[in-house]
Amino acid sequence: MTAAAAYAVADWGTSRFRLWLLDEKGDVVAERRSDDGLDISRARGFAETLETHLTGLQAPADMPVIICGMAGSRQGWVEANYVPVPADLTAILSGTVRIEGISRDVRIIPGLSQSGSAPNVMRGEETQLLGAMLARNLRSGLVAMPGTHSKWVELEEGRAKSFSTYLTGELYALLAGHSILRHSIGNATETVAPDHPQFAAGLELMLEGNRRMLGELFGIRAAMLLENLAPEGAASRLSGLLIGTEIAGAREKYGTTTKIALVASGAMAALYAKALTVAGLGFDIVDADDAVRKGLFVAASKLWPAATQG
């Protein structure tokens, strides 16, 4: 590890763990990624898991750590309570929870909650959202953060006004791996491409006002049996139906005039860019990894400003 590192920042989710050492400007000095998510880390010990990765990066014992994500859930390391919306995104930093009983200064960022007729919660995305706002100098508008549980957030004058959650990624994994559709998709779950005609067909069905997604799903199985639909086509059609349903719902709720900040990376960015284009929605892409690191850096530098002063 180089002496330039000032902070360790981590995005600790249900299934994945990402750790970065950042310098005083927020640039990456070193990183580690692993499958040490919530369940594995709970069995092994959260402190031990974190220290193993920090040691692997040669982080000094007095380097502070800021964490976002499911490590702060009720099933995580320690619960960091939610901040209700509408909320100033920088205000959540004052609610960070310090881990007791260890020598290192480790803090966890709270999530956001929404009560009333549409109860909702997010944990981890609030930090990504803050980073996306800073990356685009965005104070008002609509932010889409696709993933296992896709989040759509309304911003108003620098505050998270309200948000929606779509279980798009989780439903894809469940249907592709544990339903009758697994016989059609097989090992092709990662082969979905935005230019596949079956992906486009699934999108268009859902975006053209045909919201009968449940009635379309079994057609994937039937097309494999009767028309020799290949596994790649089956996976692509399922993805198109699910993402198309999400986009159709968001378009109906939020309208078509607001340009969307799409916070995504890699294949996910490509799929959602295609879907938003087909839906006739304007968007800019913000890299998801950059956004969460930027949000974590802002949190760290506000908590420990002395760390950047030598």
CATH assignment at residue 132 = 3.30.420.300
Residue 228: per-residue pLDDT: 96
Give the torsion through C-alpha atoms of 222, 223, 229, 235, to 10 deg. -70
Residue 161 to residue 119: CA distance in whole angstroms: 13
Gyration radius from the chain CA atoms = 20
| CA-based nearest residue to 60, from 115, 1, 14, 146 | 1
Distances in whole angstroms, Cα of residue 106 to Cα of each of 73, 74, 78, 150, 168: 15, 17, 11, 28, 32
Residue 258: per-residue pLDDT: 85
* pLDDT above 50: residue 217: yes
Distances in whole angstroms, Cα of residue 230 to Cα of each of 185, 192, 202, 235, 237: 8, 12, 15, 9, 11
Residue 308: per-residue pLDDT: 53
Residue 307: per-residue pLDDT: 61
Residue 263 to residue 274: CA distance in whole angstroms: 14
Q: With contact defined as beta carbons under 8 Å apart, do 124 and 13 qualify? A: yes
Task: pLDDT band for 91, please (50, 70, 90 cuts).
Answer: confident
Does residue 90 share a domain with residue 21?
yes
Please tell me the pTM assigned to this model: 0.93
Does residue 171 share a domain with residue 111?
no
What DSSP string runs through 49-87?
A: HHHHHHHHTT--TT--EEEEEGGGSTTSSS--PPEESSE
82-91, 208-217, 300-309: least confidently modelled range: 300-309
Residues 130-141: tens digit of each pLDDT? 999 999 999 999
Q: What is the DSSP letter of 14?
A: S
Does residue 205 share a domain with residue 101?
no
Contacts of 186 (CB under 8 A, 6+ apart): 231
* pLDDT above 80: residue 245: yes
Give SS3 for 137.
Answer: coil
Number of domain units in the chain: 2
Structural domain including 109 reads: 5-136
Does residue 12 share a domain with residue 130?
yes
Is 147 inside a domain boundary?
A: no
Residue 260: per-residue pLDDT: 96
Report percent pLDDT > 70 for the chain. Answer: 97
Partnered with residue 88 across adjacent β-strands are 159
Does residue 19 share a domain with residue 125?
yes
How crowded is the C-beta side of 262, counted as CA atoms within 13 Å?
23
Average pLDDT in the 286-291 region? 96
Is 284 inside a domain boundary?
A: yes
Q: Tell which wins on pLDDT, 210 or 266.
A: 266
Residue 306: per-residue pLDDT: 67
Task: pLDDT band for 66, please (50, 70, 90 cuts).
Answer: very high
Amino acid identity for residue 22 in this structure: L
Is 306 inside a domain boundary?
A: no
Distances in whole angstroms, Cα of residue 158 to Cα of each of 51, 93, 138, 139: 35, 14, 7, 4
Q: Output the average pLDDT for the chain.
A: 94
Does residue 210 share a domain with residue 122?
no
Does residue 183 share a domain with residue 97?
no
CATH assignment at residue 227 = 3.30.420.310
Is 149 inside a domain boundary?
A: no
Task: pLDDT band for 1, please (50, 70, 90 cuts).
Answer: very low
